[in-house]
Structure 1
Amino acid sequence: MQANEATQTATEAAPAAAPVSDVTQIINNLSAYLPDSWQPYWEQIQSIPLLAFVVVVVLGYVVAKIGVAIFSKSLTQITKRTKSDVDDQLIETLRRPFFLTIFFFFLGMAVKTVGLSPALESNLIRVLASILVFSWMMRGFKVLHLLLKSLSSLKDKFELIQPKTIPLFELIGKILLIGLGSYILLVIWGINPTAWLASAGVIGIAVGFAAKDTLANLFSGFFIIADTPYKVGDFVNLDSGERGMVTHVGMRSTRLLTRDDIEITIPNNVIGNAKIINESSGRWEKSRIRIQVGAAYGSDVKQVCEVLEKVAKAHPDVVKNPAARVRMRAFGASSLDFELLAWIPTPVLRGRIKHELHMQVYEAFNQAGIEIPYTKQDLYIKEFPGKASSGLADAGQAASE
């Protein structure tokens, strides 16, 4: 009967002790890791708990130092073949957690030699394991930053990872590392993580609904930066009518500087769903302008073309390659319609160059004797109202007589 009760008690206590056993099963017995020839010496040292504790701690420190030295030297030999210093920084970053992992392993075994109560012993080992998890998690943040920074320099292979998208990837990576570290800590301390994961899911849904606009702008900014429909310095036109130079592309908004020197801030969620005309994109940054002009019927069309081409060639800001050209577009109601097509270096010069070309075309047409027609209306008066009224008066007087 007593045996059955003892068995039942051990069975009930097993689930509570399972997490502790998972953490401490590797460090329960130091003698299992020693050669047979060392066993007698260890038994003598173990008879003095404080001495055994000090010996194991010192041994752990020495082994940890040797292990870190071997780890660093071995990887340094490999990283010498690379030109980047990122791998050297990674080795330097991982030195401390690697040292702590080995040292805490021996420190846990040293705790087992002191002869503390099982509850206190388990809690101390849990504390050591928690410190180790925190150490790896903090170093993981730095490793993540170094890797993202390195990948952002390889734009040809990793287009999504750019200097401006690093904060987003770093935020996602940190959240994942914190989640993983929290899960391990819960397991170490014997806490069931299922309820916590369910609570985190509910909180995540609530936060998502509360910050849906912010998240929409954030993800739109990420895809804008990754897809690069425009970049800083480009001149863009939006379907809502805004036109200007892009001065800033952020994760939340895009800023345009208009020709009136007014800065417009547009949320990325709006601009991400808008039709964008990028005047600075295409094969090159050059932009084409069109000068429409009419010549009177009877004008020499070849002369008109020569005059327009000459005006374009004479302008210093008109691009020589591709060369400007003239096209006759239509027979208008009162004019022959021509169009001068010229290329300019950047879209920002569009307004000034069009103004100058219009003035120069007008002067060149005047010098060449080419008439620029305009709408004319001739009014013919069949009879003046004064004469008509006097005639009616004379007819009335004759009838009365």
Structure 2
Amino acid sequence: MREFLLQLTPHEHALVILLFGMVLAVGFELLTRRLLLSLVRRSSSRLDDELLGLIRHPVAISAILLSGIWAVTVANPPYWLLGFIESSLQTLLVGIWARVALRGGHLFLELVARSNDPSTLQIHPRSIPIFDFVLKLGVFAVAGYLVLTAWGIDVSDIATSFGLATVAVGFAAQESLSNLFAGVLIIADAPYQIGDVLVLDNGDRGTVVDIGIRSTRLLTKDDIEIIVPNNIMVNTRVINETGGPNRPCRVRVPIGVAYGVDLDHVKQVLQEGLTNIPGVLYQAPGKPPAVVLRQFGASSL
């Protein structure tokens, strides 16, 4: 075999390498096709066949592209043509695997978001777009670096300039960036959601009507909207009255009655009145409305 290869001209040797890469690609395609059919029949989960189907064609194409790079090097064309072909094929490789990384990362995020196992990593479904954006940013940055390197462009000066610009922007917008990252943490961790009733550390109480990247908006009982920066929501104590397994919350209403009245009659009247208010869980097990004597006031109980 070695003697046969030594007798070949550079162009014939390059053709053999290219054919070898094509044979590997076709063999991998046939192997993964049979393996994919076997996984579909045996596995109840679609994850295995989705991952295998995701890398199936890219691996085969990569085998052809890598053999093409090797073949061009062996064929020894003019220097300018060699550099152009190698850089073009390497750019195609980077593009193919960048697409695989994006689709694979999105598939992983959806899998984690659908998982109900508390022992594994938990991601709230509504935070998928944020993680997807971060994934795209990272993949595009790495892919851009590899493409520039493939074409022989020095990225050190670009990276230095970008780093200095990032530091300058960070100092100029420190408070805004703090709220931005806090908003990402709130959306990812989901300590509260739209419709929850929150009590802030300063005593403000309201219903969450919007969770943005920079701020959270609360609507009070007086229809006053409170805009709270997310940095404050992350770093202070927040009481979620509608958190936990049960959405309803308990509301305390102070009522004063004159001294000398029949307290049992007062309790009966109040509890009967609660039954006529829509939304009151009068028959909730363990959490019925209660009338409690709190204190003796100056002119009322």
Shared topology, TM-score over 0.5? yes
Q: 1: distance between equivalents of 2:36 and 2:210?
A: 41
The SS at the match of 2:208 is strand
Q: 2: distance between equivalents of 1:283 and 1:99?
A: 50
Q: Which amino acid aligns with 1:161?
A: I
State the partner residue of 2:178: 216
User: What is the aligned counterpart of 1:308 among 267, 277, 282?
Assistant: 267
User: What is the aligned counterpart of 1:290 among 236, 253, 270?
Assistant: 253
State the partner residue of 2:231: 269
Q: 2: distance between equivalents of 1:232 and 1:251?
A: 14
CA contact (8 A) 2:62 2:93 kept: yes
- Say whether residues 1:117 and 2:88 are aligned partners: no
- Structure 1 residues 325, 175: closer, same or farther in 2, change over 3 A? closer
> How far did residue 142 of structure 1 move?
1.6
User: What is the aligned counterpart of 1:166 among 118, 121, 128?
Assistant: 128
Spell out, residue by residue over 1:209-252, the C-alpha distance to the aligned partner (whole angstroms, 9 max, x if none).
34434422221112223443321211223456654322332333
State the partner residue of 1:358: none
What is the aligned length? 293
The SS at the match of 1:203 is helix
CA contact (8 A) 2:24 2:60 kept: no
- Structure 1 residues 76, 250: closer, same or farther in 2, change over 3 A? farther
Spell out, residue by residue over 1:251-300, the C-alpha distance to the aligned partner (whole angstroms, 9 max, x if none).
33323344455655544234334543333236742314234222334x5x
CA contact (8 A) 1:186 1:193 kept: yes
Alignment of 1:378-393 (within 5 A): none
> How far did residue 153 of structure 1 move?
1.6
- Say whether residues 1:74 and 2:35 are aligned partners: yes
Alignment of 1:99-248 (within 5 A): 99-154=60-115, 156-158=118-120, 161-190=123-152, 194-239=156-201, 243-248=205-210
Q: Which amino acid aligns with 1:309?
A: Q
Return 212-221 or 134-143, whichever deviates more: 212-221
Q: 1: distance between equivalents of 2:254 and 2:220?
A: 23
User: What is the aligned counterpart of 1:253 among 215, 220, 225?
Assistant: 215
CA contact (8 A) 2:115 2:122 kept: no
- Structure 1 residues 176, 328: closer, same or farther in 2, change over 3 A? closer
User: What is the aligned counterpart of 1:278 among 234, 237, 240?
Assistant: 240
Q: 2: distance between equivalents of 1:225 and 1:305?
A: 48
Q: Which amino acid aligns with 1:293?
A: G
User: What is the aligned counterpart of 2:26 among 52, 58, 65?
Assistant: 65
Return 219-228 or 72-81, whichever deviates more: 72-81
**Structure 2: segments with no counterpart, 5+ residues:** none
The SS at the match of 1:290 is coil
State the partner residue of 2:48: 87
The SS at the match of 2:71 is helix
> TM-score, normalization: structure 1?
0.61
CA contact (8 A) 2:73 2:82 kept: yes
CA contact (8 A) 1:159 1:226 kept: no
**Structure 1: segments with no counterpart, 5+ residues:** 1-34, 338-401
State the partner residue of 1:372: none
Q: Which amino acid aligns with 1:147?
A: F
- Structure 1 residues 157, 77: closer, same or farther in 2, change over 3 A? farther
Bigger radius of gyration: 1
Q: Which amino acid aligns with 1:146?
A: L
Spell out, residue by residue over 1:43-83, the C-alpha distance to the aligned partner (whole angstroms, 9 max, x if none).
66x3483x665555444333312223324543664565543
The SS at the match of 1:165 is helix
- Say whether residues 1:98 and 2:59 are aligned partners: yes
Q: Which amino acid aligns with 2:27?
A: I
> TM-score, normalization: structure 2?
0.78
- Structure 1 residues 118, 307: closer, same or farther in 2, change over 3 A? closer
Greater strand proportion: 1
Q: 2: distance between equivalents of 1:59 and 1:108?
A: 13
Q: Which amino acid aligns with 2:253?
A: R
Q: 1: distance between equivalents of 2:162 and 2:156?
A: 10
